[in-house]
Homo-oligomer: A and B are copies of this chain.
Amino acid sequence: MKLAVTGKGGVGKTTVASLLAWVYASEGNKVIAIDANPDANLATALGISSDEAQGITPIAELKDLIQERTGVKAGSIGTFFKVNPKVDDIPEQFSVKKDGIQLLVMGTVKKGGSGCLCPEGALLRSLLSHLVLSRSEVVVMDMDAGVENLGRGTAKAVDAFIIVVEPGQRSFQTARAIRDLAKDLGVGKCYTVGSKTRNDNDQQFIIDNLSDFELLGFINYHPEIAEADRLGKNVFHTSPGAVHDVKEIVAKLERIIRKS
C-alpha cells in the first residue's frame, strides 16, 4: 500500500507520517518512509540524527543510477522505465534504516535562485509509480505543505491520500482543495485525520465541517508531541498517547481497505 500524507502547513503531517510508519513497522510490515517535502524534517521526526540524515543521498540523485540500470537518458526520466524497481533495489546509500523503517528523502533547494524542484518531483513520481510492493510492504510519503505537489502530480501513484486537518477553517479549505485536485490525478481515496484536538468540541467541529470526508480518527493534542519537537526526538518514543491514537487510525484504515 502506498499512502501520501498531506494537508495545510503545520497541521502535523510529519508527525502523522512518522507515527503511521512506526505503527506499520511495529506490526511487522516492511515500511518505506519518503520525505517528499523540500523543507525536510521527517528524519528528525523518526529520531534519526542530523548527522545520519546528512549521509542520505537524495532520490534526486538516483537519476544516474536509473540511467545506468535502464538505459533511459536523463531528461527523459519521468516518462517510462524499462524495469520496475523493487524496494530491495533501492541501494543503501539512498536511504537510512531505523526502527524497521527505511527512510528516503526527495531532496531540497541547494542554492537560492537555483530553480524549482520540478525535476525532483518528476523523478519521485516516476519512482513511486514503478515501485512494486509485496503484500506486507507499505510506503508512507510525507508531502510538502499545501497544494503545489498536486499540480506536479508527485503522489499520482498512491492508493490513498491521508489529509491531516486541525480544528480551523484554513485547514478545511486546504483539505477540500486537495480532494478536488487528487480526483484530477485519479486518486479517488482521500481520508481525513483530525489533529491537535483538545476535547469533544474540537472533534465535533471537524466532524461537522468535513462531514463529506471519510474520517479515520483523531490524533489528539498531547503536550509530549510539542516536547518531542523541542528536543528533536521522535514522537513514538515520547508520546504513548499519540501512538495509541494512530494504532486506532491504522486499524480503521485496514478495515476500510478490506471492505473495498
Bound complex: CA of A48 vs CA of B205, how far in Å? Answer: 22
A residues 109-158 in Cβ contact with B at 8 Å: 109, 111-118, 121, 144-148, 150-153, 156
Q: Which residues from chain B contact A232 at a C-beta distance below 8 Å?
A: 169
Contacts of A44 on B, CB cut-off 8 Å?
169-170, 173
Which single member of B152, B170, B181, B182 contacts A41 (CB below 8 Å)?
A: B170
Chain B: CB-nearest residue to A153? B113
State whether B115 touches A8 (Cβ < 8 A): no
Beta-carbon contact of B145 and A9 below 8 Å: yes
Known: A10-B8, A184-B111, A230-B169. A39 touches B116 (CB 8 A): no
- Tell me the minimal C-beta distance from A193 to chain B in angstroms: 15
Q: Does A231 contact B (CB under 8 A)?
A: yes
Q: Give residues of chain A (145-195) contacting chain B, Cβ–Cβ below 8 Å.
A: 145-148, 150-153, 156, 167-170, 173-174, 177, 180-185
Contact A185 B9 (CB under 8 A): no
A226 and B185 CA atoms in complex are apart in Å by 33
Q: Which residues of B contact A220 (CB under 8 A)?
A: none
Q: Is the CB of A229 within 8 A of B148?
A: no
Known: A10-B11, A11-B10, A41-B170. A112 touches B183 (CB 8 A): yes
What residues on B are CB-neighbors of A226 within 8 Å? 167-168
Q: Which residues of B contact A41 (CB under 8 A)?
A: 170, 173-174
Q: Which residues of B contact A112 (CB under 8 A)?
A: 150-151, 153, 180-185
Q: A58 contacts the other chain (Cβ, under 8 Å)?
A: no
Q: Report if A203 contacts B (CB, 8 A).
A: no
Known A-B contacts A116-B152, A121-B116; the reply to A147 vs B39 at CB < 8 A is yes
Assess whether A108 is interfacial by the CB under 8 Å rule. Answer: yes
Across the interface, which residues of B come within 8 angstroms of A156, CB to CB? 113
Complex CA gap A4/B150 in Å reads 25
Cα distance, A11 to B121, chains bound together (Å) = 25
25 contacts between A and B (CB under 8 A): A8-B9, A8-B39, A9-B13, A10-B11, A39-B145, A39-B146, A39-B174, A39-B177, A41-B170, A41-B174, A44-B169, A44-B170, A44-B173, A108-B147, A111-B151, A111-B181, A113-B156, A114-B151, A114-B184, A115-B151, A116-B116, A116-B148, A144-B145, A167-B230, A168-B229
- Which A residues are within 8 Å of any B CB, using their own CB? 8-11, 13-14, 37-39, 41, 44-45, 108-109, 111-118, 121, 144-148, 150-153, 156, 167-170, 173-174, 177, 180-185, 205, 226, 229-232
